Structure 1
Amino acid sequence: MGQYKLKHTKKDCFSRTRRNKMASTFIYRNKIYMSVQVNGKQRKRSTGLNNTKKNLKYVERELLPNFIIEVSNNKSSNVKLFYYIERFKEEKKHFLKERTYIRYCKMIDKWILPEYGKMKIKDIKISTLKQFLNNHFEEGKTAKTVELYRTVFSGILQEAVYDGVLSSNLFKNIKHPKKKKPVITPFSVDEVKLLLDNSFGWFHNYIGIATSLGLRSGELIALKWIDIGDKEIYIRRTRDFNQDTTPKTESSIRTLPMFAKVREFIDKQRKISGHSEYVFPRPNGLPWSDTQWIAQNHWYPLLKDLALKKRRLYEMRHTFATNMLNSGHFKVTEIARMLGHTTTEYLFNVYSAYIESEKNSFSLNINIYE
C-alpha cells in the first residue's frame, strides 16, 4: 500500500471535504468524518469529534492512517486497542469535567495502555477483562475503584462497538463488583486532642481546620485567603493532579460558619502563609499538586509516633461528621449541608454506627399507640 498524502488549503478547513484519491475527511453536522476508497469500495466512519482545526489535524495525523490500514487490509479486527484509547480520550475531553478527564487519562496511561494498548481488538476476550478486574481486587483496590476502572475500559471498547468493529461490549457479560458499605475509622475526641498536642506550625493548623470543618482533602489545599471571611468560609474549589477545579457536585460549593476554634487556627496560619495566595501552600508559597506528600511526610509519621492506627487524611472529615452528629447542636440537614451532601441519606448510611443517639438508648416500656 502506498502513502496517502492529504493536501489542502487553509480555506478547506471548514468549508469542504479534504481529499485525495484514496482518503479524505469531510464534515457533516459539524462532526468530522473519514472516508477511504479501496478497490472501488468506499468506507466512511464518524470520528465523533467536532469540526475544529485542532481536531482536523489530530484526525489526519492519528485516526485516518489507522483507518486506511484497516480498510486496505479488509480486517477491522486487526485494529489495536490503542486506536480506540485515543478515540475515547478525544471524545471525553469535550464532555467531562477537567478533573475527571485528567483522572481518566492517568488511569488509562497507568493501568490500560501499557498492557493492553498493543492488543488487537479481536484478541481481547471476556477472560482478558475478568483478569484485568481481578488483578486490581487482588492488589487491594476497593469495589468502587475497580468499578471506575471497568467504566473507563468499557467506554474504550464501546468506541469499537460504535464503529462496528465489535458486535457488542464484552463488559456486558461480566458482573459488576459488589459495592460494600464504606468502612470508616474516625478519631475519638481524645485522639484528636493527641494529634493537635503533638503537631506544630502549619500542620497543627491543618489538622485543626480539617477536624473542625470536615473539608475534603482536595478542598483544604485549594483553600485561598480570598475564601476566608469574617464570619464565614467559602468552599468553591478543590485541587488534584496539580489543578484547581470546581468541586465534585454543586452541593459541594458551600458556605461554612467560622467557628471560634477555627478562627484561632486561621489567625495562626495567616502569620505563617499570609504572603501566599493559598492558606496551606508548599514551603515555596506555591500550591500542593495533591495531598500525597503531606500524607507521606507528615501525617503517617505522626500517627506512627503516637501509636495510632494508620488512617487516611480523609478520616479527619469522618471525624468531624461523627462528632457533629453526636454533639446534638445541629440538625442532620445542617450537617449534611456543611459536608456538601445534597441529602441526609449518605450520613445515615455511613455514620449510623457511630451516632450515640442511634444506639438503642430508648426505653423498652414505650407504647407508640398510647
Structure 2
Amino acid sequence: MSVKVVKGGYVIDFTLGHQRYRETVPAPHNKTALKRVEEQESIYKFAISMSDKSLADKFSTSKIIQKAFDKQCEYTIHDYSNIWFKQKQRRWSHTTVRGYSQKYNSYIKPNWGTLQLTEFKASMFDEWASESSLSAKSINEARNVLNQIFKCAYQDEVIDKNPVERIERYKQDTKEPKPFSKDEIKRILNALPVPYSQFFQFAFYTGLRTGELLGLRWEDLDLDREVAHIRVNITSGIEKAPKTAGSIRTVELHPVAIEAIQSLKTTIYIDNKRVFIDPKTMNDYKYADGLRKYVWKPTLEKLKITYRYPYQCRHTYASMMLSQGKNPMWVAKQMGHADWGMIRKVYGRWISQQQ
C-alpha cells in the first residue's frame, strides 16, 4: 500500500518508471478522507504513466505532478524566496529578519531573482563573488540566504538538488583587535562628561557587548558580591535575552567598573530601571548609534586618538585581562563565550606565556 497514515494526514509514496514520487496530503483520519487520497494516488499514477497532464489539472499544486511534468521550473528564485520567508520568519528574531531581507534585496534578487530554480548554477555565484568588492563575510552571508531558499525548495521536493551546496565558503580574514592603551583610556574618560564617562568606563572594564550595556538594570547589579548578572540585551530597540545561552551569565566586576557605578549613584541619573540612560531625554537607550556619532567619535577626534568603534572597548577589556595573566577560560566566561576557542583565535598574542 503506497498511501500511509501519518500525523496530520496521509503520505502518497510510490515508484513509477524507476522514479520515486512522494507527497504529504493534510486530511483527517477517516474512511472518507482515506478513500479520497487513494483515488488521488490512482489519478497521479495514471496521469504519469500516460503522460497526460490534463488528467492532473485539478491537482495543479501537487508536488508529485510538479515533479512529473517539470512544473517546478515555473518557480523563480524570487517566487521561492517568498515561500521560504513565509514559512520561516516566525522563528526568526527581528534582527535576523532585517538581515536576511537586506542581503536578499541587495545581492540575490537583482542578480538571480528572475531565474527559475533549475536555471541557477553554482558558477553564477562564484562569478559574481569574484567581481564583487564585498568582504568575504558579506559574500558568505549572501550565500547563506541563497542556500536556505534552495534548501527549502529541495525539502519541499520542488527541485532534485541544491546547487548552492557546491559553492565553497569564502575564507574570512580575522581582523585583529585594536585595543586602546591605558593612556588612551585615561584621556578618553577624563574628556567625557557625566554620565558618558561612567558608561564607557564600565564598558572598558567589563567587556560587555553594547546591547548588554544598554540593557543593564540596577537589579542586575550586586555590588556587595561585586558581580553583574547579564540577563537582558537591547537590539534594534527591542529588549530580549542575550544572543546565546552562554551570554546569560554572571560576571565578576573589576574594581574600576565598580567605581564607575558608585560614581553614577551620586548623580541624578539613577531613577530609571536601567543603569545607563540618555541624559538628554532621561529615557532608556534604544540604539547605541547616537552615542557613537555624537559622543564617542567627537571625543576621539578632539583628543586626536585613532578612531575605533566603541566595540573595541570589549576587545580592550579582553586584551587587558589576558595581558595581566588571567586564565583564558575565565576571560571567555566573562565575555559570554561557550569556550575559549574564540579567545585563542582572536586574542592569541595577548595570552600570557605563563599560561
Q: 1:45 to 1:219 in 2, by over 3 A?
A: farther
Ranges in structure 1 where 5+ consecutive residues have no aligned partner: 1-14, 18-24, 47-67, 363-370
TM-score, normalised with respect to structure 1: 0.71
Farther-moved stretch of structure 1 (295-304 vs 97-106): 97-106
2:257 is the counterpart of 1:269: no
In structure 2, distance between residues paired with 1:311 and 1:99:
24
**Per-residue deviation, residues 66-123 of structure 1 (Å, max 9, x unmatched):** xx9x89x964323232332222223333544555445434443454446554544345
Partner of 1:157: 150
Q: What are the within-5 Å matches in structure 2 for residues 103-182 of structure 1?
A: 103-113=99-109, 116-134=112-130, 138-139=133-134, 141=135, 143-182=136-175
Give the conservation status (yes or no) of the 8 Å contact 1:102–1:241: no
1:319: Cα distance to partner? 0.4
Q: 1:217 to 1:299 in 2, by over 3 A?
A: same
Q: 1:118 to 1:292 in 2, by over 3 A?
A: farther
TM-score, normalised with respect to structure 2: 0.74
Give the conservation status (yes or no) of the 8 Å contact 1:45–1:163: no
2:326 is the counterpart of 1:333: no
Give the conservation status (yes or no) of the 8 Å contact 2:9–2:28: no
Partner of 1:309: 306
Superposed CA RMSD: 3.5
Q: 1:312 to 1:160 in 2, by over 3 A?
A: same
In structure 1, distance between residues paired with 2:214 and 2:282:
12
In structure 2, distance between residues paired with 1:116 and 1:267:
56
Give the conservation status (yes or no) of the 8 Å contact 1:202–1:272: no
Partner of 1:253: 248
Give the conservation status (yes or no) of the 8 Å contact 2:72–2:159: no
Farther-moved stretch of structure 1 (286-295 vs 312-321): 286-295
1:266: Cα distance to partner? 1.6
The residue identity in structure 2 corresponding to 1:199 is L
Ranges in structure 2 where 5+ consecutive residues have no aligned partner: 1-7, 11-23, 30-39, 45-52
In structure 1, distance between residues paired with 2:131 and 2:215:
34
Give the conservation status (yes or no) of the 8 Å contact 2:95–2:235: yes
Equivalent pairs, count = 308
The residue identity in structure 2 corresponding to 1:154 is N
Q: 1:235 to 1:129 in 2, by over 3 A?
A: same
The residue identity in structure 1 corresponding to 2:26 is I
Helix, strand or coil: the match of 1:239? strand
Give the conservation status (yes or no) of the 8 Å contact 1:98–1:245: no
2:198 is the counterpart of 1:201: no
- The correspondence for 2:74, drawn from 74, 78, 98, is 78
- The correspondence for 1:191, drawn from 184, 190, 194, is 184
Give the conservation status (yes or no) of the 8 Å contact 1:234–1:256: yes
Give the conservation status (yes or no) of the 8 Å contact 1:158–1:169: yes
Give the conservation status (yes or no) of the 8 Å contact 1:78–1:122: no
Farther-moved stretch of structure 1 (75-84 vs 231-240): 75-84
In structure 2, distance between residues paired with 1:112 and 1:273:
46
